[in-house]
Structure 1
Amino acid sequence: MIAPERTPHATGPVAARVPTGPVAPDAPVIGILGGMGPAATADFYAKLVDATPAVRDQEHRRVVIWSDPTVPDRTESLQGRGPDPLPWLRAGAEKLQEAGATHIAIPCNTAHAFVPALLRYVDVPVVHMIDEVARHLAGAAPPVRCAGLLATDGTVGTGLYQDWLHRRGVEVIVPDARDQQAVMTAILSIKAGRRGATETAVLAAVADRLARAGAEAVVAGCTEIPLCLATTDVTVPLLDPARILARAMVALTAPI
């Protein structure tokens, strides 16, 4: 079975890290297009630091963060209830490029519905978080063939994960209507700063039902979910897309 992701607050021992040497002044720059939401952006940066094999400051990656919490709600836009966030995403990507970003990460699952349109305005690679998750699942030993999904209504409704995972031969199980409503309520609660036992219990219960329906692993497909749900709360491996994306960004920007 695929190894579970570590809990959000876990860090590896410094002694186990392999130094890579100081980063050169012309080294790649990771741009984080964030603010969706702010806590998830801060969490992603922490995971980026944790994923870097550094033993001193100078061995970490160069990073630029653009955190814009005024980006319109992605789910509301996808459901026709709110403005298109693309202009905000485009402006943020342009700010990152002006600041020297050579690779862009977007630590928001639902925002990836707008990545195809965003790519028309971006001159540097945008590393696709959902594609990285699909690669991770398919490359597991043994490969995961059925994954449960906890995500926003926008992510579930647009079939983002379904499309990308199916390309890798992975079936996706989503919650029923009642459970999806509970997941969305929990996500909004976490965004509002409530990360207590109630939110954890709701998400864990839905994850358990997905596992009993055949999911071999569960994807925490909203970057707020890992702020409240740990691997120890679920009965099958819990995958954190933000952590997977962080590892991909570190690998792509490794010193030559």
Structure 2
Amino acid sequence: MKIAGVLGGMGPLATIDLLNKIVKHTDAKKDSDHVHTLVDNYTGIPDRTAYILGNGENPEKYLVESALKLEAMGASFIVMPCNTAHYFYEKIYGTVKIPFVNMIEEVAKELDGVKKVGLLATKGTYRGHIYENIFNKYGIEIEVPPVDLQEIVNQLIYNLKEGKDNINEVPIDKVLDYFSNLGIDNIILGCTELPVAFEMLNVKGNFLDPTKILALSTIKLMGKTIKKY
């Protein structure tokens, strides 16, 4: 029996969002039709962006610890609903004997024929070139907003993480207008808090949701059927 292992906690809302999307998109008529999942909601993993920017503790050993724990508990493969944490993907991948799905690569596979996309992400994801390092292999160009607009994206992400109730005051429209003015229609919500925030704010657009893409990949790997809407 296959078991999906979720290396989570970065943050808890993003982990719940992945689990919700796995359940929502699985074509299930009874409990046993759903995905058997092991979740390590490891909220103690140090902030990934802070480390990449040179201001925090290295989270690598915590990420490896979680991956090994999931493997020991019987996970058949690992998924990780955190874009910035994929900066450490190779290190984690090298410590486990089970497959470790690369969420960034799963997003790239969805962009068949698309040559340029916009990226909304943490400053750590921007600084670490996490998307560029994968997308270059697929011939997809990444457009990132200028530094002042990156601050707006970061503010939205961390306001949600911190449980603030004023995320509607963050001027995310300025960032979306930037991409619109460049004629970029496809925009990646490259932080797993962003799909949650955009749903709360009811922001509409042609957005690529890595959490949803990862959920669908998980369902497929489990040999389950994706629900058709």
Fold in common (TM above 0.5): yes
Given that residues 35 and 224 in structure 2 are in contact (C-alpha distance below 8 angstroms), is that contact kept between their aligned partners in structure 1?
no
Within 1, Cα distance between the matches of 2:106 and 2:144? 19
After superposition, the Cα gap between the structure-2 partners of 1:255 and 1:48, relative to the gap in structure 1 and judged at 3 Å, is: closer
Corresponding letter in the other structure for 1:65: V
Instruction: Work out the number of aligned pairs and report it.
Output: 223
* Residue 30 of structure 1, CA deviation: 0.3
Is 2:43 the counterpart of 1:69?
A: yes
Q: How does 1:195-234 map to 2 (within 5 A)?
A: 196-199=167-170, 202-230=171-199, 233-234=203-204
Name the SS of the counterpart of 2:45 in structure 1.
coil
Is 2:64 the counterpart of 1:90?
A: yes
Of the structure 1 ranges 118-127 and 187-196, higher mean CA displacement relative to structure 2 is found in 187-196
Unmatched 5+ stretches in structure 1: 1-26
Name the SS of the counterpart of 1:126 in structure 2.
coil
* Residue 79 of structure 1, CA deviation: 1.6
Q: How does 1:121-132 map to 2 (within 5 A)?
A: 121-132=95-106
Within 2, Cα distance between the matches of 1:203 and 1:166? 27
Name the SS of the counterpart of 1:144 in structure 2.
coil
Deviations 1:125-184 (A, max 9, x none): 11000000001012xxxx222110000001011111122122212111101011001111
TM-score normalised to the size of structure 2?
0.92
* Residue 252 of structure 1, CA deviation: 1.0
Given that residues 203 and 229 in structure 1 are in contact (C-alpha distance below 8 angstroms), is that contact kept between their aligned partners in structure 2?
no
Within 2, Cα distance between the matches of 1:169 and 1:194? 38
Q: How does 1:1-256 map to 2 (within 5 A)?
A: 27-138=1-112, 143-194=113-164, 196-199=167-170, 202-230=171-199, 233-235=203-205, 237-254=206-223
TM-score normalised to the size of structure 1?
0.83
Within 1, Cα distance between the matches of 2:40 and 2:195? 21
Query: Runs ≥4 in structure 1, deviation > 4 angstroms?
Result: none
Within 2, Cα distance between the matches of 1:175 and 1:104? 31
Name the SS of the counterpart of 2:74 in structure 1.
coil
Within 1, Cα distance between the matches of 2:128 and 2:148? 18
After superposition, the Cα gap between the structure-2 partners of 1:50 and 1:255, relative to the gap in structure 1 and judged at 3 Å, is: closer
After superposition, the Cα gap between the structure-2 partners of 1:163 and 1:89, relative to the gap in structure 1 and judged at 3 Å, is: same
Given that residues 146 and 173 in structure 1 are in contact (C-alpha distance below 8 angstroms), is that contact kept between their aligned partners in structure 2?
yes
Within 1, Cα distance between the matches of 2:137 and 2:164? 36
* Residue 232 of structure 1, CA deviation: 5.9
After superposition, the Cα gap between the structure-2 partners of 1:234 and 1:206, relative to the gap in structure 1 and judged at 3 Å, is: farther
Given that residues 190 and 228 in structure 1 are in contact (C-alpha distance below 8 angstroms), is that contact kept between their aligned partners in structure 2?
yes
Given that residues 5 and 75 in structure 2 are in contact (C-alpha distance below 8 angstroms), is that contact kept between their aligned partners in structure 1?
yes
Given that residues 204 and 234 in structure 1 are in contact (C-alpha distance below 8 angstroms), is that contact kept between their aligned partners in structure 2?
no
Name the SS of the counterpart of 2:5 in structure 1.
strand
Corresponding letter in the other structure for 2:212: R
Given that residues 149 and 174 in structure 2 are in contact (C-alpha distance below 8 angstroms), is that contact kept between their aligned partners in structure 1?
no
* Residue 49 of structure 1, CA deviation: 0.8
Within 1, Cα distance between the matches of 2:173 and 2:110? 22
Within 1, Cα distance between the matches of 2:101 and 2:178? 31
